Structure formats: structure tokens, C-alpha cells
Amino acid sequence: MRTEVCIIGGGPSGLLIGQLLHRAGIATTIIERQSREHVLGRIRAGVLENGTCNMLEEAGVGDRLAREGFEHEGAFIAAAGRKFRIDFKHYTKKNVTVYGQTELTADLYCARDSAGLNTIHNVEGVILHEVTSDTTYVTFVKDGYEQRIECDFIIGCDGFHGVSRPTIPTGVRKEFEQVYPFGWLGILSETPPVSEELIYANHERGFALCSMRNEKLSRYYVQTSLNDKVEHWSDKRFWEELKRRLPEEPADILVTGPSIEKSIAPLRSFICEPMQWGKLFLVGDAAHIVPPTGAKGLNLAVSDVHYLSKALISFYKGEEKYMINNYSAKALERVWKASRFSWWMTTTLHHFPDYGDFGQRMQEAEIAYLEGSRAAQAVLAENYVGLPY
């Protein structure tokens, strides 16, 4: 089998770069370890930066997003029993859009199917070969038979646990990591959201977040111990704990109901340098992880797609290799800035076991300063809606 670009990973970043390259006349094949049903069943973030929405429109998959996405022009920050609003639109002239990652992925699959492009699911034993030579290829096992894809380039969109990043030798690869001493317990419920915009809450018992997928589907989170188990959290216990961490006004009007999904996710910050080696390019979670506090995970993957798609299109147009060779440096510049913002949001809003009473009061003072400072609010708004590409 021969293609110009082999994409490892059929999640949103792999599908998006495949779509953009296809529209530029570049042949791609996507291979994915899981089934399509499994990929579409993942519950993930749904806050899209302005730039992400523009990229989806550029890819020709923005119609349903434009119809069904919920534009948010601000968000609430809560601490010490009160909340206040950061007005994104006022400070940046931009907004974010709430649109489930599952829906976005479905849109991208539909576009790929309509174009008749090659997507291979349920593959095993993926190995990258000759990544630094002119005879690059990928092998994998499908239905018990080994197959081979010869290609010009390989794009690793296969996540933190995928095979792409470990292909870069340890002597070349440098990894930076911060593991946080807590996780997020999240539930999905068929209830109206407590607020039309997100509420980020700092509390001495731990962080809480009120989010949504649509007007009838809510997503809520509470900070919890890494040693906690989902089965220890009944719906009743979750709702009671969430109410404790919110200011009185939203707590009083919160509509509760049975959860339809419940899970605990650990938090970490992780960055791999470089994001390219030979003919291999890393995109999204294969290269970096951010805590979800700043809503940057999917959006950072899309910014990687932006830089890499432009570089590959330039290459296939016969232009100089500058953009290809500079992909890692360009992408990492934005990755580090977005990771800083996610780290700041996480350290400001979460309860750390070793902070003590002094640390809690310092967090409250930081948030009080944010409430009273237009300059600080402008910085948060600029980062939240997304730094320019």
C-alpha cells in the first residue's frame, strides 16, 4: 500500500489534518487501534477556541458546529462564597464555543467517508520504520495479517500511550512532566446546566467546575483524591459535594438527576521536545498533555494541525522545506504558552494537600485581585479564547 502521508490515530486531530491535506490534494491513510464506535464513544472536552472553530470551517466541517454550537462570551470564577464574570468579548472581541468533541469527531468522520478516503480501524502491532530515511513505511496487523504502508511522512496522532513518540530515540527526546496530586471526578447528566456559561470554583474542599454539552446535557466535575474510586461516589454524594463547593446562588438552583456517565481522570502537564524526528511529526496528546482546567487539550492539538498542515501543503507545492523543518519549534512555542496558562489555572483553583490554610488564603487573594483588575481579566480572557497562531 502506498500513500503520501500515513496518519496514526483516528481521533479528531488525525481526522482534521487528514481532511485539510485531502482538500489540498494530498493523499492520506489513517490507521486506528480502536473501532470507530469506541472513538465516537469517548467523552471529552467541548470548549473550542475561536481559532479551532476557524480551522474546522477551513476544513469544510463547520456547518453543524455553526448551527448547534453554543457561543460563550465569558465565564465565571468563584471563590470564598462569591462569583464574578470574565467578559471575553469585551477584552478580546472573541468568544469560545461549546460543542462536544464527540460531535466534532462525527462531523470529521462523515467528511472523510463522503470523500471515500482510506481509514483502517482495529489495527494492532503498529511499527514505524526507516523514519530518518527516504524509504519510510509503517507496518501493522489487521485481521491477523501484517500489512505495510509506504509513505513520505508519518503523523503521530496516537495519544500519550501511542507508539509514535517512543519511536524518537531517548537520546533525542526530552520530556517535561508535572503530575498533580489529585484528579477530576466528572459526571454527565441529562439536566439543564446550572449556568449559561462555565463556572470555575475554588474551595477549601477542592475545585469544582460546572460545564455543559447543550441546553439539556450538563457536565460537572469535582476535584478528588487519586486514590478515590468511581464506585465510592453515588450520585447523591456527588451532588451534595458539588453544592458545597459552589456559591449559594448556583447551588440553590442546581438541577440534579441520574448520571449517565461517571469517571475519574488524573491531571498532568507533559511536553515532549522535539515534536518531529526525520519524517515523523507528533500532534496533540502524542506530544503534550495539559490539565483540563484551561480547556486547552483539543485546542492545542488543533494548533499543531494548523502548523503541520500548512508546512506539508507548502512542501507538496514544491516550496522550500523551511516550514517542514521548523514545525516543532513553531508548535512548541504555542504549546509552552498554553501549558503555562493551564498550569496557572490549575494551581490557582485547586486545593493542594501541602498548601494549608495559608495557601488557601493566597489563592483567594489571587482570585480577589483578578476580580478587581481589568488588566488581569484581560490576560485571562486572551489566553482562554486562544492565543493567535
Q: How confident is the model at residue 100 (pLDDT cuts 50, 70, 90)?
A: confident
Q: Is 384 one of the catalytic residues?
A: yes
| Beta bridge partners of residue 208, listed in sequence order | 201, 222
| Whether pLDDT at 43 is above 80 | no
Query: Is 247 in the active site?
Result: no
> Is 292 a known active-site residue?
yes
Is there a catalytic annotation at residue 221? no
Kindly name the residue from 22, 72, 203, 288 that is annotated as catalytic.
72
**Cell numbers representing residue 61 in the block:** 466541517
Rounded CA separation 75/68 (Å):
19
Predicted pLDDT of residue 320: 83
Kind of pairing, strands 137-142 and 259-273?
unpaired
For residue 351, is pLDDT > 90? yes
Q: What is the pLDDT of residue 146?
A: 97
Check 91, 200, 221, 327 and give the catalytic one.
200
Distances (CA, A) of 281 to 86, 101, 107: 37, 23, 24
Q: What is the pLDDT of residue 46?
A: 84
Residue 132: HSE in the Cβ half-sphere, 13 Å Cα cutoff: 5
pLDDT at 194 over 80: yes
Tens-digit pLDDT profile for residues 105-136: 999 999 999 999 989 999 999 999 999 999 99
Predicted local confidence at residue 214, as pLDDT: 85
d(CA 11, CA 34): 10
Range from 35-44, 153-162, 338-347 carrying the lowest mean pLDDT: 35-44
Q: Which of 279, 296, 330, 351 is catalytic?
A: 296
pLDDT in tens, 202-219: 999 999 999 998 889 999
pLDDT by residue (tens digit) across 264-312?
A: 999 999 999 999 999 999 999 999 999 999 999 999 999 999 999 999 9
Non-local (6+) Cβ contacts of 23 within 8 A are 59, 60
The confidence band for 45, taking pLDDT boundaries of 50, 70 and 90, is low
- Active-site option among 91, 307, 327, 384: 384
Asked if 91 is an active-site residue, the reply is no
Query: Domains in the chain, ordered, with CATH?
Result: 5-72+95-177+268-345 (3.50.50.60), 181-267+350-385 (3.30.9.10)
Q: What percent of the chain has pLDDT over 70?
A: 99
CA angle 197, 289, 273 (to 5 degrees): 140
Active-site annotation holder among 109, 221, 292, 307: 292
